[in-house]
């Protein structure tokens, strides 16, 4: 369909102050300021709206430049912003652009997740495919847009054409003009510790270079999350501030200095903008998943969800070690046959799906962080009999969860990958936790000439590596839980064995981090990192002071130097509900749980796979409340967490199905406080229905967890 050329009067809605030419073909509302362009040719423009009509995406060519903007209810979300990209060996898609055609369509379907926050997902959107030609670059390209009621995604699609055999992209010009006074929640990008930073809340004007998702609230109160979906054969997008309030796509560079290398036609990931009136609207969005392709693996009934124990926390709190020796002296090695059997007994007694065993393979002695060349993924230490441990686990009705730490040496891992997968498949291992501990920019691989190259954790080379591991693992019916990963962009829909990942500051920092994760960290994660997908936070610590460090000088207080968990016990239980992952770790040791069996009952009861999920309430960085319905029963589970502020909360139970439930409540006690009385917990039971409500007190740094058992 050839794009209409509009001549005459065009009424358009202003995006924001300072926008020279507003972008909308709809007449302005009576109470809005409109600009009238009389009797002249108007720049080529087209608009596509969400099914409910509230969100509008407008794209146009103005003075040869391709631009877009987004409104909700005619209020600016993204003011006029640039589109385009630059190449190494050809002119840029930047100037002299002509829109040559467009197609519009709509879709309203539902699809089913093999596992997930909800069993069925509705995909309801309107679509625009806008074709264009860059006279400068001599390239045809499309802008593909899908607009949902909860936001939108757009991407560039360059079809196969002449001179595209080897294309190097050096910059993407996509802007997000959000306004400098907009509030933002973010972590820095291109820093040594990857995504593992505490979130900062600042005006957008204070941003320099940040990872996505980045969460925003503009001056009109509109909640926004900027991210990307379906990151395949491309480089990850961070956002840098160029002009005040304008965030531009900044692609992770490859080791050769380019950003992306492709051959032939290509598609970028979707650039996503989730939009909501309030904070919980972001949490209830399915936009990222809907922008990914359907399952490519076929039958995935072999994928197992559930809770797992592990030989892991012992090492972080320094009771055990990953290696056998340090500087030639023996250490208390954790991954022994005997110790593994103790954890297998614990997992079996509590119906956990497996036991993670870290440190079983050769390579951990001395400075493993800097010595990824020496890891073997098939050879065990002499005190660990993998065949015997696997046999014992199977006898007990559980199994090993494998572990592959690469220390960022992906060539060493790739060279051994098939043999390592064969071994695990033979041993009945159904899931692997992979690790890439290395400073960002130090992911090592060796090219065909034998030259060592170094990449960022989220460069195109590393993105290709992760997907290769996931695909090859699927052939062995093994799931992957990636630590030190590339961020989640919804590929779990396409490759359901990519079951979870880390990609944020998790529980481990509470064992040795200075500072540890503060009481506001989880409420920040929920509205930022968790918008991208599941996280293996490793919840359920019952010893809340595992390795607290004392003051080290007269001028330093216990809040300057400390390693501890700044939650109440009830909040640790709530993590199993508010932080979604289809596999959840039960992080502490069996003897610690034995001391608090009443609270441990909730961990035993809570599932990890859900029929429905509803974010009920919350505010970014402050508090959040979720309700989730078990996929296997009629039971519901509710979790709530707060930051350092205590709250009196009324839980409306109208989300329940009809009938009566037993509410098994785990909540903060009257004296509970994350700093002074973290273990004060009340466990009580009361019968309720969908017509009732519960009044719950959340302590500072506290939370609550409820099982609603259908009677």
Q: Which residues are catalytic?
A: 508
Query: Which residues lie below 8 Å from residue 218, measured CB to CB, with a gap of 6+?
Result: 76, 77, 178, 179, 182, 183, 224
Distance CA 549, CA 522 (A): 22
Identify the sign of the CA torsion 110, 113, 114, 118: negative
Report the DSSP beta bridge partners of residue 261.
Answer: 168
254/85 Cα distance (integer angstroms): 16
Phi, psi of 138 (to 5 degrees): 55, 45
CB 405 within 8 A of CB 312: no
Indicate the SS3 state at residue 98: strand
d(CA 63, CA 481): 48
One-character DSSP codes across 150-176:
TEEEEEEEE-S-TT-SSEEEEEE--EE
Find residue 61's DSSP bridge partners.
66
Query: Could you say which DSSP state residue 454 is in?
Result: E
Angle, to 10 degrees, between the axis of helix 410-426 and the axis of helix 460-475? 10
User: DSSP code of 561?
Assistant: S
Hey, how many other C-beta atoms are within 10 angstroms of the C-beta on 181? Answer: 12
The residue with tokens 């990824």 is: 372
Beta strands in 302-374 (DSSP E): 306-311, 325-326, 329-330, 354-357
Percent composition of the chain: helix, strand, coil (DSSP 3-state, to 5): 15, 35, 45
Tokens representing 646 are 């205590």
């Amino acid at each position: 369909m050839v794009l209409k050329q509009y001549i005459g009067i065009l009424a358009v809605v202003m995006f924001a102050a300072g926008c020279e030419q507003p972008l909308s073909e709809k007449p302005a509302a009576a109470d809005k300021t409109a600009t009238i362009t009389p009797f002249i040719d108007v720049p080529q423009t087209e608009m596509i709206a969400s099914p409910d009509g509230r969100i509008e995406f407008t794209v146009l060519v103005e003075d040869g430049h391709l631009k877009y903007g987004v409104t909700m209810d005619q209020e600016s979300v993204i003011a006029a912003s640039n589109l385009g990209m630059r190449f190494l060996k050809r002119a840029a898609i930047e100037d002299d652009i002509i829109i040559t055609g467009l197609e519009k369509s709509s879709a309203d379907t539902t699809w089913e997740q093999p596992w997930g926050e909800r069993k069925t997902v509705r995909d309801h959107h309107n679509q625009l495919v806008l074709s264009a030609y860059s006279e400068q670059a001599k390239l045809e390209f499309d802008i593909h847009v899908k607009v949902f009621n909860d936001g939108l995604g757009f991407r560039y699609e360059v079809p196969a054409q002449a001179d595209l055999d080897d294309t190097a992209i050096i910059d993407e010009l996509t802007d997000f003009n959000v306004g400098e006074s907009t509030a933002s929640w973010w972590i820095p990008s291109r820093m040594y510790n990857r995504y593992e930073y505490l979130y900062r809340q600042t005006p957008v004007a204070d941003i320099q270079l940040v990872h996505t998702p980045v969460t925003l609230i503009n001056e009109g109160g509109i909640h926004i999350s900027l991210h990307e979906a379906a990151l395949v054969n491309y480089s990850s997008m961070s956002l840098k501030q160029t002009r005040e309030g304008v965030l531009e796509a900044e692609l992770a560079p490859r080791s050769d200095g380019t950003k992306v290398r492709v051959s032939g036609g290509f598609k970028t990931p979707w650039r996503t903008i989730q939009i909501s009136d309030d904070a919980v609207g972001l949490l209830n969005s399915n936009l990222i998943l809907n922008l990914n392709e359907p399952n490519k693996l076929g039958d995935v009934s072999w994928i197992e969800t559930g809770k797992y124990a592990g030989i892991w926390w012992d090492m972080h709190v320094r009771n055990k070690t990953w290696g056998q020796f340090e500087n030639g002296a023996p250490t208390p090695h954790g991954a022994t046959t005997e110790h593994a059997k103790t954890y297998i007994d614990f997992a079996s007694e509590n119906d956990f799906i497996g036991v993670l065993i870290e440190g079983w393979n050769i390579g951990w002695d001395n400075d493993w962080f800097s010595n990824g060349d020496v890891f073997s993924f098939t050879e065990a230490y002499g005190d660990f009999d993998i065949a015997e441990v696997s046999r014992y686990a199977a006898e007990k009705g559980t199994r090993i969860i494998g572990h592959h730490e690469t220390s960022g040496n992906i060539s060493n891992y790739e060279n051994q990958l098939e043999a390592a997968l064969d071994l695990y498949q033979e041993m009945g291992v159904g899931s692997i936790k992979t690790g890439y501990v290395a400073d960002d920019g130090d992911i090592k691989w060796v090219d065909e000439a034998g030259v060592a190259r170094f990449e960022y954790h989220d460069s195109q080379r590393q993105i290709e590596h992760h997907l290769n591991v996931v695909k090859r693992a699927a052939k062995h019916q093994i799931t992957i839980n990636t630590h030190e990963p590339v961020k989640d962009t919804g590929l779990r829909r396409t490759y359901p064995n990519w079951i979870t990942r880390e990609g944020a500051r998790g529980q481990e920092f509470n064992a040795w981090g200075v500072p540890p994760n503060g009481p506001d960290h989880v409420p920040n994660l929920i509205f930022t990192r968790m918008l991208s997908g599941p996280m293996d936070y490793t919840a359920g610590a019952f010893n809340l002071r595992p390795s607290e460090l004392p003051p080290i000088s007269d001028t330093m207080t216990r809040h300057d130097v400390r390693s501890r968990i700044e939650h109440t016990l009830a909040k640790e239980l709530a993590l199993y509900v508010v932080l979604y992952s289809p596999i959840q770790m039960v992080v502490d040791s069996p003897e610690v749980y034995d001391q608090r069996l009443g609270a441990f009952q909730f961990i035993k009861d809570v599932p990890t796979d859900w029929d429905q999920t509803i974010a009920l309430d919350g505010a970014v960085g402050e508090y959040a409340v979720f309700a989730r319905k078990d996929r296997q029963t009629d039971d519901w589970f509710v979790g709530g967490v707060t930051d350092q502020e205590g709250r009196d909360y009324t839980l409306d139970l109208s989300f329940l199905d009809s009938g009566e439930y037993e509410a098994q409540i785990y909540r903060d006690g009257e004296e509970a406080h994350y700093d002074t009385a973290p273990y004060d917990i009340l466990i009580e039971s009361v019968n309720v229905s969908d017509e009732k409500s519960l009044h719950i007190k959340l302590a500072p740094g506290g939370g609550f967890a409820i099982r609603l058992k259908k009677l």
